Structure 1
Amino acid sequence: MPPDTLYVTSHIHVDGPIPGPHSLLTLASAAHNADGALLTTFTANLRELPGATLHPIALQSWRGRAEDWLTTRRAARPPAIAMTAYARWIAQLPGQPVFVADPEAQDYLFLYWYLQRFTGQWSFARTSTDPDVRDRLPYTPVCTLSGCRAPLAQTS
């Protein structure tokens, strides 16, 4: 792997299974160098999309985690502003950013849709689903929600 390759892992919270009818609520990403060392992080809470609804299954889940829901709503920014800031963060990384995707998670689906919708581009040089890449990146917690699953990599 080229030394200028950077790996970006992400963790999100949403209010439904697909973007558009449902919203991205929180985003946390961490950039790692090729050796897995943490370089920098990005976090944001996003406002709900106009006209989007809370999916019944997500509603049931959030009802049992009221404090977590409130945490996702604190200082929430409009999606266009948050995603523009995210794209700028990616562009300022010192290397070729590779999005590390977990095929079983919604992170790629939501982030691809949101970046395309609000910035008109997918900001990453490429995407990797290679489990060897995911496995060697350190776990660094970013998600402070009590109901968080263990993400690929997170930072505080």
Structure 2
Amino acid sequence: MAVRPARPSLYISVDIEADGPIPGPYSMISFGAAVAGRQDGAVYTAADPERQTFYRELRPISDRYVDAALAVSGLDRARLLREGADPAAAMAEFRAWVREVSAGAQPVMCGYPASFDWTFLYWYLIEFGDDSPFGHSGCLDMKTLYAAKARVPLRAAVKGRMPRELRSQRRHTHHALDDAVEQAELMSNLMLWQPEADAL
């Protein structure tokens, strides 16, 4: 019996900013997404990470927040309470965007590291609409991808130790869309990287 070929994957870099360590008690206050590239079988094609993007700032969902976490993004919580997007509306718009840009492929969220961003993103998608276009596990961690390719311990998989050619030349600003675009470039560089076996 022939094995059916897997559907192509569309990798979407996502970065979130939050006002605390976990979703529910704390809030995702902004998130950005950028299409990184498409994988069809063994072939990966990088995308222009500025061409297909999504960004929203969200109204906080609780009264709790951690000053240090809030300070990372520099976003004004009082302004977000007045002007931030309704989370349910933002998640509905995001689902529609993901499905539009990934038509004909399976969308995969990717992040560096993905664990924090995926926790918030998936929780919000389920809490505000009970539907994730990524399924429950459509997530790729770039930190793990680098560690596996470079054959280094996970704790050693830090950007500062990566070969210069892998790293994006964009600044990491802690603006969710800026950082999603930066990480999209890193994702494509990692996917296309073929480290020399004797250099590892």
Q: CA deviation at 1:52?
A: 3.7
Partner of residue 92 from structure 1, selected from 100, 104, 109: 100
Aligned residues of 1:15 and 1:54 also touching (Cα < 8 A): yes
Structure 2: state its 5+ residue gaps.
39-44, 150-161, 186-200
Matched residues, number: 145
d(CA) in 2 for partners of 1:110, 1:153: 19
Take 1:140 and 1:30, find their aligned partners in 2: how far apart are those partners? 14
2:52 is paired with a residue whose SS is strand
Per the normalisation by structure 1, the TM-score is: 0.73
Alignment of 1:5-154 (within 5 A): 5-34=9-38, 35-38=45-48, 39-49=51-61, 51-58=62-69, 61=71, 68-70=74-76, 73=80, 75-93=83-101, 94=103, 95-103=105-113, 106-124=116-134, 126-129=138-141, 130-132=144-146, 145=175, 152-153=183-184
Post-superposition CA distance 1:79-121 (Å, at most 9, x none): 1111111111111123221111334652111001000101202
Q: CA RMSD in A?
A: 3.6
* Worse-superposed segment, 135-144 or 120-129: 135-144
- Residues 21-55 of structure 1, C-alpha deviations (whole Å, 9 max, x = no match): 10000110011322221351100000000x34112
Residue 123 of structure 1 and its aligned partner are, at CA, apart by 1.2
Retained in 2: the 8 A contact 1:6–1:96? yes
**C-alpha deviation, 1:69, in angstroms:** 1.7
Structure with greater helix percent: 2
TM-score (norm 2): 0.58
